[in-house]
Amino acid sequence: MNPPPMRQPQFVQLHREDRAAVHAELVAGLLAPQASLAPKYLYDPLGSRLFDAITALPEYYPTRTEAALLVAHGGAIAARLPQGATLVDLGAGNCEKAARLFNLLQPVRYVAVDISVDFLRTALQCLQRQFPALDMLGVGLDFSSELTLPPEAGTGPRLLFYPGSSIGNFTPRQALGFLRQVRAATQGGGLLIGVDLVKPLDILEPAYDDALGVTAAFNKNLLLHVNGLLGSDFRVQDWQHVAFFNQAHSRIEMHLQALHDLVVRWPGAERRFKAGERIHTENSYKYQASDFEALLREAGFSQTQAWTDERGWFAVFWAQA
Ligand code: AVJ
């Protein structure tokens, strides 16, 4: 008997990073009175590896708490979710998290979405060998600006998977807009999403300012990435990593703070920074479970269910379209 033929993953690139747009966005952020750089620029090849290292830090609880929740409540989650749906993985990266759900959810198709299909090629080809019969599609799309899946993603109900509390990078208002687009994209399915919760400061802050300094390196590496994109002359040693919980906004903020007066130059312009002046690089919103549930309802989801760990640090929500 011959083994079943192995399928090949398909790939579609829907979005191209346009150099002029990237340049304009970076310059606008650097020249604003309160300078800022978007968190998506944290993830160049080195930044992605540093983020992987963060997920292994003792202080960084979200990744392992979420993974433990998905294992502990796997049976209950599977019972609540549609079987045989198309599993759509938002921000798939190495596809590891979603692959752990395949046996549980038995999807008919796996759609991995990330900003660039190039990140998805090796991961999907490797996964296809482990799951030869599963229909796989890689989509290159900046879903944070617009979430429209290609026709190749099929007409049946979709189970969108958005783990890791990446939703925390959006303001609650932006998150609402994003969740409405997610709901429309589910085609009657639903959303499985990981959300980080409000907790004591002495747990929250070290998660973003760890003793080894990995998060500091991750934040400062943004400057090296920007130098490559813009031709700027940021020097890592001129900047300090700052991370704190902003109670009023219920968010961790990350900044880079100038250690002394300095000038950053790039082709066409420059920006002066006074000692202590900051560049805002990331927000990571923390929710009360009840507030996030209300947000899902406001986005139009009909039913929700949450699973949380016994410390109440993290929640996995199922939201039925
Ligand atoms: C990938 C956005 C979920 O906010 O916890 C980790 C990014 N920044 N440490 C988070 C991050 C600093 C992470 N997210």
Question: Does any ligand 1 atom lie closer than 6 A to the CB of residue 165?
Answer: yes
Question: Does any ligand 1 atom lie closer than 6 A to the CB of residue 163?
Answer: no
Whether pLDDT at 1 is above 70:
no
Kindly indicate the confidence band of residue 6, based on its pLDDT and cuts at 50, 70 and 90. Answer: confident
Question: Does any ligand 1 atom lie closer than 6 A to the CB of residue 283?
Answer: no
Question: Does any ligand 1 atom lie closer than 6 A to the CB of residue 136?
Answer: no
Whether pLDDT at 5 is above 90:
no
Q: Please name the residue whose Cα sits nearest to atom 10 of ligand 1.
A: 284
Whether pLDDT at 7 is above 80:
yes
pLDDT tens sequence across 52-99: 999 999 999 999 999 999 999 999 999 999 999 999 999 998 888 999
The alpha carbon of 284 and the centre of ligand 1 are apart by a number of angstroms equal to 7
Atom of ligand 1 nearest to the CA of 252: 4
Q: Which residues are within 8 A (CB) of 239 and not within 5 positions of it... i.e. 6 or more apart?
A: 220, 223, 256, 257, 258, 259, 279
Atom of ligand 1 nearest to the CA of 164: 3
**Model pTM?**
0.96
The alpha carbon of 41 and the centre of ligand 1 are apart by a number of angstroms equal to 12
The alpha carbon of 50 and the centre of ligand 1 are apart by a number of angstroms equal to 11
The alpha carbon of 54 and the centre of ligand 1 are apart by a number of angstroms equal to 9
pLDDT tens sequence across 273-295: 999 999 999 999 999 999 999 99
pLDDT tens sequence across 158-205: 999 999 999 999 999 999 999 999 999 999 999 999 999 999 999 999
